[in-house]
């Protein structure tokens, strides 16, 4: 379908652009921004592909993830918060936590951490909620009903539905609480990564989970490109199969774009 072709094309472009030599990266970013921004602003389907499906249902090399979030931030200020909302909802989903591959969950965690780092503190620290209460919620846990009551009032953000934005904090806190209770060390570490960066955003002097030390990726979490290494030919073929393409396949960009609006 055109929609699938669009997603495939974007993923291929992100991988290619992020793999360019440093001397050419800025030019690639500018070209990618000139191409992608008008499409994102004019197509709700494409925005959903980028802010939801690509970030929560695929894995990208770390450099490609950084590039994508940079482009979203440059195109429109609301796109990173929109991506954060979608990611937090997917990341906190119980079925995803139980059944999604651990590499996929590790990538979602990295994407959510990067989004939180880019968000204005005001979006994560509503005036109606004291910072101390948010910190207690992370470690003590809350029910879905209590979370909704606690963060029911959120300030609006340009271009983003306030009701949609109001789900961000409850999803983050619910996801951290649920993952901390997991028997899997990798899943618990993912909870601590998000909890730590969230707490630092709210109060840099009081980071959570300091006693856990280094929260780097565990061996079972490492997805292709996670550590910035060059993929072997076998890894590239595996990634192409995951992306739904075969070696040597060329995606018709004009057809993909035409079907994305």
What are the tens digits of pLDDT across the range 198-251? 999 988 998 999 999 999 999 999 999 998 744 433 444 455 455 454 333 322
Looking up tokens 């980071």, which residue turns up? 207
Of 50, 166, 57, nearest in space to 108 by CA: 57
Mean pLDDT in the chain?
A: 78
Of 95, 108, 35, nearest in space to 65 by CA: 108
Residue 105: pLDDT band with limits 50, 70, 90:
very high
Classified as helix, coil or strand, 61 is coil
Judge whether 107 and 223 are in contact, CB under 8 Å: yes
Query: Residue 260 above 60 pLDDT?
Result: no
Distance of CA 222 to the CA centre of its chain: 16
Q: What is the DSSP letter of 78?
A: T
Q: What is the DSSP letter of 229?
A: P
Structure tokens belonging to residue 149? 């009551």
Query: Residue 17 above 60 pLDDT?
Result: yes
Q: How far, in Å, CA of 78 to CA of 138, rounded?
A: 25
What are the tens digits of pLDDT across the range 72-93? 999 988 899 999 999 999 999 9
Query: Residue 71 above 60 pLDDT?
Result: yes
pLDDT of res. 135: 47
Does an H or E element contain 26, and which?
helix 22-42
Of 168, 155, 15, nearest in space to 89 by CA: 168
Residue 133: pLDDT band with limits 50, 70, 90:
very low
**pTM for the complete prediction?**
0.77
């Amino acid at each position: 379908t055109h929609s699938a072709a669009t997603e495939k094309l974007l993923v291929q472009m992100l991988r290619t652009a992020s793999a360019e030599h440093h001397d050419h990266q800025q030019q690639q970013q500018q070209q990618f921004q000139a191409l992608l921004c008008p499409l994102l602003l004019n197509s709700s389907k494409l925005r959903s592909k980028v802010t939801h499906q690509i970030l929560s249902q695929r894995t990208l090399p770390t450099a490609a993830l950084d590039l994508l979030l940079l482009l979203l931030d440059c195109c429109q200020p609301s796109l990173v918060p929109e991506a954060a909302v979608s990611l937090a909802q997917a990341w906190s989903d119980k079925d995803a936590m139980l059944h999604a591959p651990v590499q996929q969950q590790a990538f979602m965690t990295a994407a959510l951490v990067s989004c939180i780092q880019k968000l204005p503190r005001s979006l994560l620290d509503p005036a109606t909620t004291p910072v101390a209460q948010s910190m207690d919620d992370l470690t003590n846990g809350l029910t879905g009903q209590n979370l909704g009551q606690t963060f029911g009032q959120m300030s609006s953000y340009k271009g983003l539905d306030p009701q949609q934005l109001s789900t961000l904090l409850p999803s983050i806190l619910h996801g951290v609480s649920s993952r901390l209770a997991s028997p899997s060390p990798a899943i618990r570490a993912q909870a601590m990564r998000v909890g730590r960066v969230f707490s630092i955003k709210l109060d840099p002097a009081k980071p959570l989970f300091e006693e856990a030390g280094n929260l780097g990726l565990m061996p079972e979490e490492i997805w292709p490109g996670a550590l910035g290494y060059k993929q072997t030919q076998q890894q590239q073929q595996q990634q192409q199969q995951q992306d739904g393409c075969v070696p040597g396949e060329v995606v018709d960009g004009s057809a993909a774009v035409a079907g994305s609006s």
